[in-house]
Amino acid sequence: MDKILKILIKYYPVFLEGLWGTLWVSAVVVALGSVLGLLIATFRMSKVKPLSWLADAYIEVLRGTPVLLQLYVFYFAMPDNVPEAVSIIVALVVNASAYISEIIRAGIGAVDKGQWEAAKSLGLSNKNIMSRVILPQATKNILPALCNEFITTIKGTSLASVFFVGELMTSFKTIQSATFLPLPALIIVGMIYFTLNFVLSRLLRVLERRLAVSD
């Protein structure tokens, strides 16, 4: 306990820097991952078969291989003038997009078939059916799962420390090599991760309750 406090007091700027790194990397990954995920989901649901197959293959490959492997592939495959952090973030975005696209697809699929039929029978265009009728209802199915994905992403960014991308796990490594004491720093980092995700999952619960009210 003593050691933990001492390290926390001495190295708190390093932890803060790591926390900041974790937060912005997660935010960027979820934001860009969602945009890319929506695109992949659109392809996946497309009536144009090759597009749908392509998206399916993309999703299967990314879900069927370890994230760490994907990070290495992007790390080595990117041109030398691309900063490491960028390669790693791109890899995380691509990985998250596969999961997010499936979340979006499932959310859209969960909207009652009757809603499509009613909207079609009124003579609404496909664009308006999607934007006015289906997506607003699908969002309700998607949001909780998307928050879960956000939590997974936060934890996933720890893998970026393998490449020293300056997030929380990198802070741990920095302090460990400075103090030769792995456990205190590890416990502190662990508590930060836990607090972050605990707060998020509580917020998620509130959100879920809010959404349930409109049922």
Partner 1 sequence: MTDIIIRTEGLKKNFGDLEVLKGIDVSIRRGEVVSIIGPSGGGKSTFLRCLNLLEQPTAGKVFFKEQDITDKKMDTCKFRQQIGMVFQNFNVFPNMTVLENITLTPILEKKVPKAQAEEEAMALLKRVGLEDKANEYPRKLSGGQKQRLAIVRALAMQPDVMLFDEPTSALDPEMVKEVLNVITELTKSGMTILIVTHEMGFAREVSDRVLFICDGIIKEEGRPEQIFTCPRDPSTIKFLSMVL
State which residue, 23 or 129, has the beta carbon closest to partner 1: 129
Map residue 157 onto helix, strand or coil.
Answer: helix
Collect all residues with Cβ–Cβ distance below 8 Å to 193 and sequence separation of at least 6. 22, 154, 155, 158, 168
- For 197, the token pair is 């995700």
Q: What is the rounded CA–CA span in Å between residue 43 and residue 160?
A: 29
Binding range to partner 1, per CB under 8 A, among 21-29, 80-88, 123-131, 145-153:
123-131
Residue for token pair 């836990």: 194
Residue for token pair 């999961």: 99
Q: Residue 161 Cβ, how far from partner 1 at the closest point, in Å?
A: 42
Binding range to partner 1, per CB under 8 A, among 35-43, 49-57, 128-136, 176-184:
128-136
Binding to partner 1 by CB under 8 A, coded x per residue (else -) over 137-166, reads x-----------------------------
Residue 136 within binding range of partner 1, rule CB under 8 A: yes
Binding range to partner 1, per CB under 8 A, among 30-38, 44-52, 133-141, 165-173:
133-141
Per DSSP, which regions of the chain are E strands? Answer: none
State which residue, 79 or 114, has the beta carbon closest to partner 1: 114
Q: Residue 47 Cβ, how far from partner 1 at the closest point, in Å?
A: 13
Q: What is the rounded CA–CA span in Å between residue 65 and residue 57?
A: 12
Q: What is the rounded CA–CA span in Å between residue 207 and residue 140?
A: 10
Interacting positions 91-120 with partner 1 (CB under 8 A)? 112, 114-115, 117-120
Residue count, binding to partner 1 (CB under 8 A): 19
Q: Residue 27 Cβ, how far from partner 1 at the closest point, in Å?
A: 28
Residue 10 within binding range of partner 1, rule CB under 8 A: no
φ, ψ for residue 79 (rounded to 5)?
A: -60, 155
Q: What is the rounded CA–CA span in Å between residue 98 and residue 103?
A: 9
Give the residue ranges of DSSP H helices in 157-181.
168-179
State which residue, 128 or 195, has the beta carbon closest to partner 1: 128
* Site of interaction with partner 1 (CB under 8 A): 112, 114-115, 117-125, 128, 132-133, 136-137, 214-215
